[in-house]
Amino acid sequence: MKPIQVGLLGAGTVGSGTFRVLQRNQQEIRRRAGREIRITMVADLDTARARALVGDSAQVVSDARQVIANPEIDIVIELIGGYGVARTLVMEAIAAGKHVVTANKALLAVHGTEIFAAALEKGVMVAFEGAVAGGIPIIKALREGLTANRIEWIAGIINGTTNFILSEMRSKGLDFDQALAEAQRLGYAEADPTFDIEGTDAAHKATIMSAIAFGVPVQFDKAYIEGIAKLQAADIRYAEQLGYRIKLLGITRRREDAGAGSGGIELRVHPTLVPATRLIANVEGAMNAVVVQGDAVGTTLYYGKGAGAEPTGSAVVADLVDVTRLHTADPDHRVPHLAFQPDALHDTPILPIDEVITAFYLRLVVADQTGVLARITGILAEHEISIDAVLQRESAEGENQTDLIILTHETVEGRMTGALAKMQAVSTVLAPIVRIRKESLS
């Protein structure tokens, strides 16, 4: 049988990993796919780099449109990244009747609805396992393995850079800036780490998982995003004392009766206190993990390398195999891009953060005098927020202020925001109040 011919756009880290995995495991892949899969054309602005990678096994060009225009190419792999030229090239590949494999989470989180609609119209597939959590097959698990379930919630450590930083802060007592510098020294963080530490990367991935889990269009613009740059070592220490660890989580949850009673879907990325007894709380370093709660299966955990050349390349090659198996199938018999049939997607709203329901960790720097705790707990009671635990640091001799730590039970975020405003105005509260959300994940 004639080999499937693949065009690769981008010979960088993931592109090189994809090529190496495909070459090294060619025999196994052929046995699984039923035919040979060959990368026969590579486009990269750095043609010398691309030639060094593929040697004489593939044609190398600098113009990606030459790959798309080649009638012999069956599948186009897009590994350029970003929203701009990548979107244009993917749409052109679809228009040319090519199947597309991509690891571009940013592209799909922002333009996925448009891309999937175009692919449906042309009868081609867009596969994107590598876009979320690198080598962890979470997309296939959500789209196929858990298809019998009504997904209730997903919570994931889906950015290795931030997880490494938080792990260093906890294990070594480092401040954020020190941990970031160490991450950059070791190559876990970019010179400009904004995309990671501000939570944008994790939000792209959470947006994609949310759409698949709940059968809604991708809606990155409605995600709540909060990064880790303002986290302080003190809060990580206090969390540990209370039996929690702080992780940057991407969370999406179905709410039947949220906030004012309208219901909807939570889609948020932020630092989160997680009980130290949970498996996901013990995911350290640059590793990723995703917890999925289904009504039939219960809790499942997916763990592994969330980035890197060959872990992500593994996911890209798995997509190539899937497309090879199914490219001649009736489009109506393929797994839908977002798991649900396109005409069955819901318009369930993404809830604004003020309507999200969660518990909270609060740290207040307060004057060390009688009545302060009573005043603060009184404000929480006024806003119908119940307290789970209180920790007060013992003041050193001669010190006139102390840290007051409060853990609350679940409440509506908007209610907490109102309470915080009132607490902040109390004269004995001496610094901005730290608020970190808390999840039991059970």
SS (H, E, C) the chain: CCCEEEEEECCCHHHHHHHHHHHHCHHHHHHHHCCCEEEEEEECCCHHHHHHHHCCCCEEECCHHHHHHCCCCCEEEECCCCCCHHHHHHHHHHHCCCEEEECCHHHHHHHHHHHHHHHHHHCCCEECHHHCCCCCCHHHHHHHHCCCCCEEEEEEECCHHHHHHHHHHHHHCCCHHHHHHHHHHCCCCCCCCHHHHCCHHHHHHHHHHHHHHHCCCCCHHHCEECCCCCCCHHHHHHHHHCCEEEEEEEEEEEECCCCCCCCEEEEEEEEEEEECCCHHHHCCCCEEEEEEEECCCEEEEEEEECCCHHHHHHHHHHHHHHHHHHCCCCHHHCCCCCCCCHHHCCCCCECCHHHCEEEEEEEEEEECCCCHHHHHHHHHHHCCCCEEEEEECCCCCCCCEEEEEEEECCEEHHHHHHHHHHHHCCCCECCCCEEEEECCCC
Q: Is 205 a catalytic residue?
A: yes
Phi-psi label, residue 282: left if phi above 0, alpha if psi -120 to 50, beta otherwise: alpha
Q: The tokens 């840290």 sit on which residue?
A: 403
CA-nearest of 351, 345, 346 to 261 is: 351
Exactly one of 205, 247, 305, 438 is catalytic; name it: 205
**CB distance 74 to 98 below 8 Å:** yes
Residues forming the active site: 205
